[in-house]
Amino acid sequence: MNRRTTALMAAAVLGSVALVSGCSDEGKPVSFDDPGASSTPAPKGSGGTGSGQDKGQNKKTSEVASKTLLPTGPKAQFTTQNTLEDGTKIGVTTLHGKKSGFTGKVWVWAPKQYFDPKYAQSGFPVLIALPGGNGYPKNYWMGTDLKLQSSITEWSKAGKSVPFVVVMPVLNPDAKYYYDGSDIPGQPKMGTWMTEDVPDFVKANFRTFKSRDGWAFMGSSSGGFVGLKSVLKRPDQFKAVIASGPDTVPDSPLWAGHEAEKQANNPEKLAQDLIDKKGPEVDLAFQIGTKEGGMASLNGFIAKYGKGPVKTHLQVIQGGKHNAHTYIKGMGDGTMQWISSKLQAPIPSS
């Protein structure tokens, strides 16, 4: 299921359609600040001991505070890319990665629950969404026609998904090569960008969770490989991934002459290392359509490495092809509910 197949090019073209969907306020400043997040005081009891209700509320407040990481700053400046039907915005900014040295665009979306006063003190789970194809200069999940964000809205209402903050960074530094989301010697440090700079940026601007239980990837094809590899390489930081139509071994031509570094970014080796070390546990959700190639290799990966701390789920999408619309359908059919059950949901104040 090489990421340079004709099917992948079709997926990239499909994704590019998402880039044309704009909105009337595109380019206008947008803020993801919640005015009530830091101004609402924690409820206190009266008379020293407090009522039973106050004690219960204080316990809830303590739980929220212990799990939540408030925005650390500095705040980024966002402009509107798209507006959903419910009024929520997809914003975009340019991130200068302090650790990788790479500079690229990042698109973000926060669900309506993020601005609900009852979640004003709570962190939110983060989904880093990666496209197929080159994923440069744009990430096609920032469009509205693929309906990733609006689907998460509907799934969360139906109890099939946690309400994620969705983060959509560029996948590669150019459209010429695949960099496998890795620090290939002599090349831009895309592994550091994806697993350190992007999460640091999210923590600077959004209420998140301190635990890895609030952090996941999802990606299609080449983005599915990067999400899979990132979770297996950094299980201390990420808990889960939805990898749709992915390769399971690195295959960038830029690895030539760097076999040791290549193997250090090989999901097969990384999964075996986790099994040998007996953890930490990771949750890997795979998706594949019946009309795309790679079923045998994906089943082989799951059979060999889906054991011990490596928990797996496979969603076979009937009639599905190697494209984003197929993978959205699979998420709605069960993948998103499975992955959400493994992650930390926002905690209401009452």
Per-residue pLDDT of the chain (350 residues; tens, 9 = 90+): 555 443 444 444 444 444 444 457 899 999 998 544 333 333 333 333 455 556 656 666 788 989 999 999 999 999 999 999 999 999 999 999 999 999 999 999 999 999 999 999 999 999 999 999 999 999 999 999 999 999 999 999 999 999 999 999 999 999 999 999 999 999 999 999 999 999 999 999 999 999 999 999 999 999 999 999 999 999 999 999 999 999 999 999 999 999 999 999 999 999 999 999 999 999 999 999 999 999 999 999 999 999 999 999 999 999 999 999 999 999 999 999 999 999 999 999 87
Other C-beta atoms closer than 10 Å to the C-beta of 201 total: 21
pLDDT of residue 63: 82
Helix 267-277 with 295-305: angle, nearest 10 deg: 20
Residues 156 and 343: their CA atoms lie apart, in Å, by 13
Q: What is the pLDDT of residue 102?
A: 98
How far apart CA 288 and CA 228 sit, in angstroms, is 14
Q: What is the DSSP string of 40-94?
A: SPPP--STTT--HHHHHHHHHHHHHHHHEE---SPPPPEEEEEE-TTS-EEEEEE
Q: Is 336 helix (H, G, I), strand (E, B) or coil?
A: helix
For residue 25, give Cα distances in angstroms to 57, 82, 115, 150, 194. 40, 8, 20, 18, 29
Cα angle vertex 128, ends 122, 129, to 5°? Answer: 130
Strand, helix or coil at 191? helix
Residue 188 amino acid letter = P
Degrees, nearest 5: CA angle 177-183-101 = 95
d(CA 277, CA 272): 9
Instruction: Please name every residue paired with 286 in a beta bridge, in sequence order, or none if there are none.
Output: 243, 314
Beta bridge partners of 168: 107
- Is residue 227 helix, strand or coil? helix
What pTM, to 2 d.p., does this model score? 0.90
The three-class DSSP label of residue 291 is: coil
Query: How many Å apart are CA 147 and CA 131, to the nearest integer?
Result: 14
Rounded CA separation 141/135 (Å):
10
pLDDT of residue 17: 44
Give strand pairing partners of 215: 126
β-pairing, 126-130 vs 89-96, is: unpaired
Task: Tell the burial category of 249 from Cβ atoms under 10 Å away from its Cβ (0-12, 13-18, 19+).
Answer: middle
Q: Is 81 exposed, middle or buried (0-12, 13-18, 19+ CB in 10 A)?
A: buried
Please name the helix (run of DSSP H) or strand (run of DSSP E) that holds residue 324, with its range, or none: helix 324-330
Say if residues 204 and 74 touch (Cβ distance below 8 Å).
yes
- Candidates 241, 260, 240; CA nearest to 250 is 260
Q: What is the pLDDT of residue 4?
A: 45
Report the pLDDT value the prediction gives residue 61, as an integer from 0 to 100.
Answer: 79
* Contact criterion met (CB below 8 Å) for 85 and 93: no
What tokens does 111 get? Answer: 């669900």
| The pLDDT of residue 51 | 55
